[in-house]
Amino acid sequence: MNPIKLSYYVGRNFKYSGKVIGRSFLNECKSWRSKANDLRCDRALGISTVGGSEAVGLIGTEGDGIKYLGQDYASLEVMVSHLQMNAHDVFLDLGCGKGRVICRVGQEVIKKAIGVELRNELVEIAKRNALLLKGRQSEVEVVRGDACDYDFTEVTVVFMYEPFGWKTLRRVLARIEESLITNPRSLRVLFSRTDRFGVVLDMCDWLTPVGPIGQTGIWEWRTEDI
pLDDT tens digits, residue range 199-222? 999 999 999 999 999 999 999 999
What is the structure's pLDDT at 12? 56
Residue 10: which pLDDT band, with cuts at 50, 70 and 90?
low
Q: Where are the domains of the chain?
A: 1-45, 73-222
Whether 9 has a pLDDT exceeding 90, the answer reads: no
What is the structure's pLDDT at 225? 59
Contact 126, 114 (CB under 8 A): no
End-to-end CA distance of the chain: give it in Å, rounded: 68
What is the structure's pLDDT at 56? 52
**Protein fold of 73-222:** Rossmann fold (3.40.50)
pLDDT tens digits, residue range 60-111? 666 676 777 789 999 999 999 999 999 999 999 999 999 999 999 999 999 9
pLDDT tens digits, residue range 166-203? 899 999 999 999 999 999 999 999 999 877 788 999 99
pLDDT tens digits, residue range 108-146? 999 999 999 999 999 999 999 999 999 999 999 999 999
Instruction: Kindly give the residue spans of alpha helices, DSSP state H, lying in 46-165.
Output: 73-83, 100-105, 120-132
Whether 30 has a pLDDT exceeding 90, the answer reads: no
What is the structure's pLDDT at 67? 73
Give the pTM. Answer: 0.82
